[in-house]
Each structure stands twice: as structure tokens, then as C-alpha cells.
Chain A
Amino acid sequence: MTQETAIEIRDLVVEYGNRRILNSIDLDIPLGQISVIMGGSGAGKSTLLRSMLGLKKPTSGAIRMLGTDICTASPGQLQEFRKQMGVAFQGGALFTSMTVGENIQLPLRQHTRLDENTIQIMTRIKLDMVNMLPHEHLMPSELSGGMTKRAALARAIIMDPKLLFFDEPSAGLDPITSAELDELIIKLKQSMNMTIVVVTHELESVFKIADRIAILGDGGLILAGTPEEIRASDDPRVVGLLNRTPRQVNVDVDQHLRRLSGLQEASDKK
């Protein structure tokens, strides 16, 4: 039985200026599951996420999400498609001039004609789902790191999206808050039947929440599969990442000495 695919990425190449960040990525994200994109720093996780969100135009390749190719979609089509997705950014990206409640209500006010009472009730339901109900009237500057992430999550799910993207949910959080957020993500999948894409490098979280894992490294896709398949892999890069083995960097001693003494820089300038 083949799984239905929510996101299909084909031969994706993304460059910043002359620097190639992602090189020929092929990846399928199944519908209704939690997929985790992981990799070390600089592996291209955030760039892949930004490409999937339509914030970074790829150099080549295709990203088909729920049947829409967002690389070739017109601005109007992209706008319509985005109403089906929710995004919780790493830093929350809450609007600092609005209260938590107003932040969460914003998509409803912009895209629906619901009456005030319904908007208030929906806001409270979502706040309750992320355990933020008592904090509706606080300003973002009054929230802790974990509260900010939960408020951002509430805003991301206010329109009941089919696709939810979560960038680094555990970054900068203590282990307990991080575990609570993991539970929340699993609860969301079960209760709202969403396809959830999480970008993270926290191993503990990854194996707790993931139905599927994609590992990026050096701009390419190293491996994609179930957590069991990832654990069973003997690819040294996967093993290194899972065992937290420091990367071995082969150093040319002469060149390194020249760099330290500044001679390398001088000869580069010439």
C-alpha cells in the first residue's frame, strides 16, 4: 500500500548568490504524519524549510504541496495555498504590538467573516490546546521562551491548517518545556489529523515525535526513513549524527599555519 504524499520535493537546488546550499534534494513527506527534518548546523534545514514555505525561491526543482507546485504558482495561488498551512517560527515571530490573543486572532480577522464572539471562542479553544489560556492578554514581551513557542503554535493552528511547519521547537528551551512541546505536537497530530513538518536537531525530540525522519548533510539528503530505519543505518554520517561524534576535519598543517600567521590571507588578496 502506498502512502499518500502531502509534500513532494523533486531535484531541488537552492543557491544564495554563488553558494549552493541545497543540492538535488528528492524527498516525500507523507500525509497525516509527523516528519522531522534534521541535520547538523549549516546542513540546509532552514533553507529547505524556507523553500517549502515559499519564502526562498529555489534555483531549480519542484516542490508540490497538496497538489500545488509552489515554485511555479502565481502570487495569488501561493496566497490561497498558504491559507491551508500554519507556521510556528523558531523565535515565535509574534507581533510585539499585539497581545497573545490578538496575535492568534489575526488570520481569522483577515481571512474570515466570523462574528466577534466566534473569534473569541476559537481563540480560547486554541489557547487551551497549547495550555496558554490564562495568558491571552499578555504582550509577547511578557512571555517566557516556552510560552512564546506555544503562542506561536496556537497562531499557526488557528485556521485548522492541513500542513503545520514547526521550526526548531526545542531550541533554547529547558528539557521539561521541550518535552511538553513534543507531547503537544503529538497531541496535535492525533486530534487534528495534520501533516506536521518539524525542523530540529534535538535527537531526543526527533525519536519521540517522528513518524519519518529526513537527515540532511552538506546540502544533500543523506537518508530518509522511519526512526527504525534511521537507527539501523550504517552510513557513517548518520551514525556520527546519532552518536554525537565530533566531525573529523582533515587539516593541512602548512596551510593552517599560513592562515594563522596571516600569510594565506595576503596571498589570497594577491
Chain B
Amino acid sequence: MKTVESLGSSLLASLEQTGRTFLLLLIIAYRIVQPPYNLYPIVRQIYFIGARSLGVIVISGVTIGMVLGLQFYNTLERFGSVDILGSAVALSVLRELGPVMTALMVVGRAGSAICAELGIMRISEQVDALECMAINPDKFLVAPKLLAGIISVPLLTCVFSVVAIFGGYFVGVVLFGVSEGSYLNGMIDAVVWSDVRLGLVKSLIFGLLVTLICCSKGFYIHLTKSGSLGAEGVSYVTTDAVVISSIAVLFSDFLIGAIL
């Protein structure tokens, strides 16, 4: 009986949290169009989420590209088709791995920090202080992060994809001696606009999902059981935010792939 009760209460809590998250999205959408408009906080968040993630995106992009180059080369060599190495790497990166890996990197680097920052601000009364100063905390704190996420993740995905393609080039052309012409021309022939568009749409949605979930988890920490646990509560919601965001990215990747 207790197990059923606990399952039921977990389910209700999850539903409540999902509802709160989507409500936050609607509130932010409404607040964004209301004056005053201030670009500086958005630029600051783009710097934090985007520019400061560049290092990790470049390193992971090169590594993923090299791994792909190596694996595809070993497989394609058995069938005598190493000429399509460039297109295989490019399509995998542009359609799937670029958006997914970038989003997962952003979750780990910036998403967790966003969630922890908002959670600490909430439990140390900084959000209450904003409300008392007649400043909308959702517009002041959450909206810039959400917009920056939507802008930064597609840009980071572009960087990731380009760097990953060059990682594959390095392994295929420089290390294994695949001809440069077949790598690059094969890629140009195989990749069409819809592949690039699919990757961009995915990254846009992932950017929104990741920042929305991480913001909501931290911003509403006081409405969860973790809210009364202080620093420990912040660590719980941050872990939750990372796990839920990662699952949301993977699941929505499948959904978008199936629909588009």
C-alpha cells in the first residue's frame, strides 16, 4: 500500500512540476514582449552559456569527429567504401550528434550552474528581495537565461559540427590517407539543406528545453521537498535538472527525428 502511495505522490509531483515548467515558459513569453527591454543581461548570459562553453564544445567536437572518423573508416574499409567517409561523418554530425552532444555539454556546463544559481538565490531570499523591489524575478532572472539558451545552443551546435567534421577529416585524410577530394566532395554531394535545417531545429528546441528545465528546477526549489533542505536541497535539484534535461534532449531528439 505504501509503495502505491509513494508512486502516486511521485507521479503527482512530476505532473505538478511539468505543469509549472510549461507555465513558466508562458509567463516568460509574455514578459519578454513587455517593456522595459534590456539587452545587456541577455548578452551577459550568452557570454556565460555560449562563449564560455566554446572550449568544451571544441574539445568534445574534435574528439567525437575523430572517433566517428575512426569507426566509420574501419567499417567502410571492409566494404571498400572509404570514399563516403566524409558524407557519413557529416550526416551523422549534422543530423544527430552535433545537436545532441552540444545540448548535453551545455546541460553539464551551464545548465547545472543556472539551476544552482537560481536555487541559491531563492533560498537566500534574493528572489523575494527582487519581488519586494517591484522587479519581476521571472523577467529579470529567468528570461535572459532562456533567450540566451535559445540563441547559444544553435550557435554552439554549428561550431561543434564544423569542428567534428574536421576531426573526421584529420583521422580519415591525414592519418589513414583517404583522398581529400573524396572526403570533401562526398560530403558536399550528400549533405542537403534539410539535413542542416533538421540539426538547427533540434538545437533550437534543445536549447529551449535545457534552459527551461534547469531554470524551472532552480527557480521553483521552494515549492519542492528539497526547498527546505538548504544547500543539500540545491544539490538535489541540480542533479535532477541535469538528469531530466539530458533525458528530455534524448527523447525529444527521437520525436523530432520521427516527425521531421
Contacts and interface: CB of A to CB of B under 8 A. Distances in A.
A107 interface: yes
Contacts of B121: 95
A85 B132 contact: yes
Interface in A84-133: 85-87, 89-91, 93-96, 106-107, 110-111
Interface string B101-129: 00000000000000000000100111011
Contact of A93 (B36, B129, B136): B129
A189 interface: no
B125 A107 contact: no
Given A87-B129, A93-B129, A79 B134 contact: yes
A106 B128 CA distance: 14
Contact of A110 (B125, B128, B132, B135): B135
A111 to B, nearest CB: 7
Contact of A91 (B125, B131, B132, B133): B125
A80 B134 CA distance: 7
Contacts of A184: none
A82 interface: yes
Contacts of B140: 110
A55 B129 contact: no
A83 B151 CA distance: 33
A37 to B, nearest CB: 17
A82 B128 CA distance: 12
A89 B129 contact: yes
A54 B135 CA distance: 13
A53 interface: yes
A106 B133 contact: yes
Contact of B135 (A80, A86, A96, A107): A107
Q: How large is the interface on B (under 10, 10 to 19, 20 to 34, 35 or more residues)?
A: 10 to 19
B132 A82 contact: yes
A89 B128 contact: yes
A89 B128 CA distance: 9
B125 A89 contact: yes
A54 B133 CA distance: 12
Contacts of A80: 134
Contacts of A155: 133
Interface residues of A, number: 22
A111 B134 contact: yes
B128 A55 contact: yes
B131 A110 contact: no
A87 B132 contact: yes
A53 B125 contact: no
Contacts of B129: 87, 89, 93, 95
B86 to A, nearest CB: 45
A89 B250 CA distance: 42
A95 B126 contact: yes
Contacts of A94: 126
A155 B131 CA distance: 14
A186 B124 CA distance: 27
A93 B124 contact: yes
A55 B124 contact: no
Contacts of A89: 125, 128-129
Nearest to B120: A96
Contacts of B128: 53, 55, 89, 93
Contacts of B132: 53, 55, 82, 85-87
A83 B129 CA distance: 12
Interface in A198-256: none
Contacts of B133: 82, 87, 106-107, 110, 155
A53 B132 CA distance: 7
Interface string B31-48: 000001000000000000
A93 B135 contact: no
21 contacts: A53-B128, A54-B131, A55-B132, A82-B132, A82-B134, A85-B132, A87-B129, A87-B133, A89-B129, A90-B125, A93-B124, A93-B125, A93-B126, A93-B128, A94-B126, A106-B135, A107-B133, A107-B135, A110-B133, A110-B140, A155-B133
Interface of A: 53-55, 79-80, 82-83, 85-87, 89-91, 93-96, 106-107, 110-111, 155
Interface of B: 36, 121, 124-126, 128-129, 131-136, 140
The 9 closest A-B pairs by CB, nearest first: A93-B129, A82-B134, A93-B125, A87-B132, A107-B133, A89-B125, A83-B134, A79-B134, A93-B126
